[in-house]
Structure 1
Amino acid sequence: MKHTTTSGIEIRPTYILSKVTNELPGEFPFTRGIQKDMYRGRLWTMRQYAGFSTAEESNKRYHYLLAQGTMGLSVAFDLPTQIGYDSDHDMSEGEVGKVGVAIDSLKDMEILFEGIELKKITTSMTINATASILLAMYIALAKKQGADLKEISGTIQNDILKEYAARGTYIYPPKPSMRLITDIFEYCSKEVPKWNTISISGYHIREAGSTAVQELAFTLANGKAYLNAALEKGLAINVFAKRLSFFFNCHNNFFEEIAKFRAARRMWAKITKSLGATDEKAQMLRFHTQTGGSTLTAQQPLNNVVRVTNQAMAAVLGGTQSLHTNGYDEALSLPTEAAAKIALRTQQIIAFESGVTDTVDPLAGSYFIESLTDEIEAAAQLYIDKIDAMGGSVNAIENGYIQQEIANAAYQYQIEVESAERVIVGVNKFTQEKEGITDVLNIDESIRTIQIDKLIKLRAERNNKAVAQALKNLGDAAKSDQNLMPFILAAVEEYASLGEIADCMRNVFGEY
């Protein structure tokens, strides 16, 4: 029987090293980690992704997670917020507060972070098409709290290319979308210098069905596209590249995932150097990891605790800077409080009880790991070369190449599951009739009514003349080549709604 990784790389029965490397952690090309001491100096950030229902309900969950020892917040937004619709829009029906929190205006953002000082935490926001608006709301709130904008830190996902390829929450065509992203790069480099302006995401590429090698290749190819777009805008790579971060998935194939992370650092260091980065911090690939949502099963959901632990351990051994562990019940619903706590405790047990943090890159020198790292890099580079020959990621997405490769991999995976060639415990082997979990989180349809009432009140109380002027100014700026962030921030501060601001840009850019 032939043994392979999920990417089809053959696994030999034994390994010998073809070459000996004296590379050290914290040194180019950073295969062994971006810090010399890694977790001996500082643990990864335990950042639990959360957001559902209203800002009030999500605020309660954030306070709960902070009390349980989470080290940073990570905001999930509902679908209307992600695609630029207010809760009262016809397209929002049935979706308000369902897969994340509903944010219609700065007023909701104020409620979301009530009792939480933004200057004391880092916040990650999983938002793409409307990233400029949500970032503006966060900045406006930080200003209201009296925080020094030069010191606030966090991340917006802001990775629109993977939306076209794998996820679908885009609004505008690719070129104006790329303009918004580079506007954010430029604005934040001056005004909010500690903010990570993009989290180039392989997570959703993997969730859509890609292999580990495809996730790595397509993510880094997208990263190259963002580097080139910023360079074309005249931005300095040694400045803006320091604020780029990545977001990877971690699936069940333990050693393949570890090797993937090591290969990613090495490849990105070479890519940035080839494009002119000379500052080591601009060559470093810093990344957040989330355990694999699509690996979780609705059948025997408590088995997911084991899957998540396995994946979290691989992420840590691979050198992640930040980690979210999924709740065991997420194949059934958004995580309950109990599931969220076990997910966080999983990270804490790995950090404080397993011993894996005591030395840097514990698996370095493993014949298998070193060989697999090289093989994954070589396989991913073939994809990147092919995408470069097409003119880069934007072209490869526009002609459907990346989407088709992901679809083919997803189809092959499903065939393997249905034939039981690939065993999924509790699904196609070791099955049982009763699953035993009945306590799931349900989001009531009344959430939309609550949000609509808030919008009615907001529009009655704000200065509508000032809102109209701010939106006009934004529309005019969108027709020029001015940076749009100051205009979006001005509209947000007048309490223009998310939908109004998104529509203002829709009128200029059109929809994709």
Structure 2
Amino acid sequence: EYPFTRGIHPLMYRKRPWTMRQYSGFGTAKETNQRFKWLLEQGQTALNVAFDLPTQLGLDSDDPFAEEEVGRVGMAIDTLKDLEEAFADIPIDRISTSLTINPVASVMLAMYLAVAEKQGIPWDQIRGTTQNDVLKEYIGRGTWIFPVKPSIRLIGDMVEFCSENVPKFNPFSVCGYHIRESGATPVQEMAYAFEIAIAYIQEVLSRGLNVDDFAGRIAFNLDIHGDLWEQVAKFRAGRRLWAKIIKERFRAKNPRSMILRMIAGGGGGGLTIQ
């Protein structure tokens, strides 16, 4: 119950284990499809799709700027046919798919929905997330294409579209993770993540939507480093603060709108060579 300090469900992971989705994708769509199938056979319960840098930046694989980067840190997607091949024989209505892509998230979601249509799956049965957090790209990664205002407008477009047409899909995931990996402290990580989320919420509210129409689909991607108690305190404080922001600042009525829904992963910057 509000303010959800201990967790967003009464029994949390004692009743239902967290979703397992390894960040994966490489080379061609066919190679990635084989990897996806293997992961699901091993017991993975969802997919987290890695795209190569040219795809993340909206470049075709034969673009001169894409040279030597095609398929290196994720799979290369140039056409709808590529994405169809990546998800061939995968029941995307029975799993959740995270599309880890930002400035061209709207294009990738459109292609993913087209794949669903070709598989005969209604949009309202599609579950998943697009990362779609372009503001953190200016801070932490650099894979941005458009200036700030048009980029935020695109995010607003996706939230509005998903609220009406793909109600089980999370249109953006705010990434404190990348900010922490760029040198921020845990406190700064949460502060920047919440401020970015507020900017997106304000954009959507300016279109006439009610906060309860979409806040329950907001997701966060947060960092975990080696100090256990610091991480526990960060998550507990984050849940309380986010609930308070949504309830008191944005006047949400639905408790689901107030919960801090997150994925969290081990911070690469804190790892050591074994």
Range class of TM-score, shorter chain: over 0.9
Matches within 5 A, 1:194-205: 194-205=168-179
Report the counterpart of residue 263 of structure 2 in structure 1. Answer: 288
Report the counterpart of residue 76 of structure 2 in structure 1. Answer: 102
Unpaired stretches in structure 1, ≥5 consecutive residues: 1-26, 301-512
User: Does the residue aligned with 2:162 lie in a helix, a strand or coil?
Assistant: helix
Amino acid at match of 2:125: E
Looking at structure 2, the residues matched to 41 and 230 of structure 1 have their Cα atoms a distance apart, in angstroms, of 34
Matches within 5 A, 1:414-425: none
Residue 41 of structure 1 and its aligned partner are, at CA, apart by: 2.5
Report the counterpart of residue 442 of structure 1 in structure 2. Answer: none
2:43 aligns with one of 55, 60, 69: 69
Q: Does 1:250 align with 2:224?
A: yes
2:8 aligns with one of 22, 26, 34: 34
Looking at structure 2, the residues matched to 186 and 81 of structure 1 have their Cα atoms a distance apart, in angstroms, of 24
Report the counterpart of residue 240 of structure 1 in structure 2. Answer: 214
Amino acid at match of 1:169: T
Residue 296 of structure 1 and its aligned partner are, at CA, apart by: 2.5
Residue 57 of structure 1 and its aligned partner are, at CA, apart by: 1.0
Residue 295 of structure 1 and its aligned partner are, at CA, apart by: 2.0
Report the counterpart of residue 484 of structure 1 in structure 2. Answer: none
Report the counterpart of residue 269 of structure 1 in structure 2. Answer: 243
Q: Does 1:119 align with 2:100?
A: no
Residue 171 of structure 1 and its aligned partner are, at CA, apart by: 0.2
Residue 209 of structure 1 and its aligned partner are, at CA, apart by: 1.5
User: Does the residue aligned with 2:26 lie in a helix, a strand or coil?
Assistant: coil
Looking at structure 2, the residues matched to 280 and 91 of structure 1 have their Cα atoms a distance apart, in angstroms, of 47
Looking at structure 2, the residues matched to 187 and 177 of structure 1 have their Cα atoms a distance apart, in angstroms, of 16
2:23 aligns with one of 38, 49, 55: 49
Residue 43 of structure 1 and its aligned partner are, at CA, apart by: 1.1
Amino acid at match of 1:289: A
Amino acid at match of 1:163: E
Identity, % of aligned positions: 53
Matches within 5 A, 1:483-498: none
Instruction: List per-residue Cα deviations over 1:300-321 (Å, max 9, x = no partner).
Output: 2xxxxxxxxxxxxxxxxxxxxx
User: Does the residue aligned with 1:182 lie in a helix, a strand or coil?
Assistant: helix
Q: Does 1:151 align with 2:115?
A: no
Looking at structure 2, the residues matched to 253 and 90 of structure 1 have their Cα atoms a distance apart, in angstroms, of 44
Matches within 5 A, 1:128-277: 128-273=102-247, 274-277=249-252
Looking at structure 2, the residues matched to 35 and 209 of structure 1 have their Cα atoms a distance apart, in angstroms, of 32
TM-score calculated relative to the size of structure 1: 0.53
Looking at structure 1, the residues matched to 27 and 145 of structure 2 have their Cα atoms a distance apart, in angstroms, of 23
Residue 75 of structure 1 and its aligned partner are, at CA, apart by: 0.3
Unpaired stretches in structure 2, ≥5 consecutive residues: none
Amino acid at match of 2:139: A
Q: What RMSD over aligned residues (CA atoms) do the two structures have, in Å?
A: 0.9
TM-score calculated relative to the size of structure 2: 0.98
Residue 261 of structure 1 and its aligned partner are, at CA, apart by: 1.0
Looking at structure 2, the residues matched to 290 and 138 of structure 1 have their Cα atoms a distance apart, in angstroms, of 25
Looking at structure 2, the residues matched to 101 and 258 of structure 1 have their Cα atoms a distance apart, in angstroms, of 34
Looking at structure 1, the residues matched to 269 and 60 of structure 2 have their Cα atoms a distance apart, in angstroms, of 29
Looking at structure 1, the residues matched to 30 and 271 of structure 2 have their Cα atoms a distance apart, in angstroms, of 29
Looking at structure 2, the residues matched to 53 and 219 of structure 1 have their Cα atoms a distance apart, in angstroms, of 31
Residue 292 of structure 1 and its aligned partner are, at CA, apart by: 1.1
Q: Does 1:278 align with 2:253?
A: yes
2:55 aligns with one of 63, 77, 81: 81
Matches within 5 A, 1:2-41: 27-41=1-15
Residue 229 of structure 1 and its aligned partner are, at CA, apart by: 1.0
Looking at structure 1, the residues matched to 66 and 51 of structure 2 have their Cα atoms a distance apart, in angstroms, of 13
Instruction: Tell which structure's C-alpha radius of gyration is larger.
Output: 1
Instruction: List per-residue Cα deviations over 1:423-457 (Å, max 9, x = no partner).
Output: xxxxxxxxxxxxxxxxxxxxxxxxxxxxxxxxxxx
Amino acid at match of 2:264: T
Looking at structure 2, the residues matched to 246 and 55 of structure 1 have their Cα atoms a distance apart, in angstroms, of 27
User: Does the residue aligned with 1:185 lie in a helix, a strand or coil?
Assistant: helix
Looking at structure 1, the residues matched to 39 and 258 of structure 2 have their Cα atoms a distance apart, in angstroms, of 33
Residue 158 of structure 1 and its aligned partner are, at CA, apart by: 0.5
Looking at structure 2, the residues matched to 155 and 209 of structure 1 have their Cα atoms a distance apart, in angstroms, of 26
User: Does the residue aligned with 1:99 lie in a helix, a strand or coil?
Assistant: coil
Instruction: List per-residue Cα deviations over 1:39-67 (Å, max 9, x = no partner).
Output: 23311101111011111111111111111
User: Does the residue aligned with 1:97 lie in a helix, a strand or coil?
Assistant: coil
Looking at structure 2, the residues matched to 254 and 243 of structure 1 have their Cα atoms a distance apart, in angstroms, of 28
Looking at structure 1, the residues matched to 28 and 260 of structure 2 have their Cα atoms a distance apart, in angstroms, of 35
